[in-house]
Amino acid sequence: MHIPDGYLDPAIIAITWAVTIPFLIFAWKKTKTTYNHATAATLAVSSALVFVVQLINFPVAGGASSVHILGGTFLAIILGPFAAMLSMTTVLMMQAFFFADGGLLAFGANAFNMAVIGGLSFFIVQLLMKKSAGRSRFASSVLIASWSATVLTALLTGLELGFSSAFAAAGGITLTVPTMFSVYVVAGLVEAVLTAGLAVSLRQWQPGVVLGLKLLGRRGEL
Amino acid sequence: MKKNVAMVALIIGALAVLLPFASSNPDGLENLISTSGAQPQHEPFWNGLMSDYNVEAVGNSYLSAFLPGLFGTVMVLLATFILASSIAPKKKNANQA
């Protein structure tokens, strides 16, 4: 879901950069107050895992199309919302710079769609776990957060492309939004099940790794 | 430390095993772009060092896809470790949770 260069209008590029940069600056400041050096390895390893899962596309829509896991909610559960934004932004930066996967001008849009939305999905988990912190509540919260983040990312991508003149002749948002939604509403389920499964397993077997969980109980520090 | 090295080995192993099974079909966004007939408004000014995760210089198709994946994994590890070290230098904040 990495938007390449050439398809977004300059105004959309400017708006998405203008919205994304303050989020990343805020994320940097919040992360600096919350994290210690011991978390560096967790951040690096979980980012590498997300880079690899984004390489593995699986078929959808009868094989006509394919999608990959985004991993934003997974990072948010492992690292907390703000470190997840920085982690995903770094992954996207490497993808754009080394592999031209996502444009450099479109980087603001891609970072917002995948890094910021992925990080913010943490707060859906937090909201849904207000009343109970049980395993099934945790699993369903992560499931809903992950699916919502994937679908919202797809919708935003559809809107950004649909409002750009490259897609005007094809129908603009009346084409891009339903197309993106129809693919990722299903793909989001796969992502949600995998993310919830992995998050529950880590919580069970390696709770020390799941830094986001610790932050769930310390809302004042977020 | 050992646990993290094992995790990295596991991630690279998963990449090596799963890569041949990855779908080569265009992803949802690429499919939208190609089927809609949308034309880029300008050519991209940067095409990456290994465009589309492929090194054409390598004759073997598996290695052509695996080596960029491996390279990218190492680069992400390095970049995010540097990022984490900048966020929280080793000595500073050492006693914070």
- pLDDT tens by residue, B43-77: 888 888 888 888 877 778 888 889 999 999 999 99
In angstroms, the CA A217 to CA B2 distance is 29
- Residue B57: how many CA atoms within 13 Å on its side-chain side? 4
> What residues of chain A score a pLDDT lower than 50?
220-222
Q: Residue A52: closest CA among chain B residues belongs to which residue?
A: B15
Q: CATH number for A10-220: choose from 3.40.50.300, 3.30.365.10, 1.10.1760.20, 3.40.50.620.
A: 1.10.1760.20
Distance from CA of A183 to the nearest CA of B (A): 6
Prediction pTM value:
0.91
Interface check A181 vs B, CB under 8 A: no
Which B-chain residues 42-71 have CB contacts (< 8 A) with chain A? 42-53, 68-69, 71
Q: What is the pLDDT of residues A15-74, one digit of tens each?
A: 999 999 999 999 999 998 888 777 788 899 999 999 999 998 888 767 677 888 899 999
Neighbours of A160 (CB within 10 A): 26
Distance from CA of A116 to the nearest CA of B (A): 17
Distance from CA of A211 to the nearest CA of B (A): 10
From the number of C-beta atoms within 10 Å of its C-beta (0-12, 13-18, 19+), residue A134 rates as: exposed
Interface check A26 vs B, CB under 8 A: no
* ipTM exceeding the 0.95 mark: no
For residue A216, the model assigns a pLDDT of 66
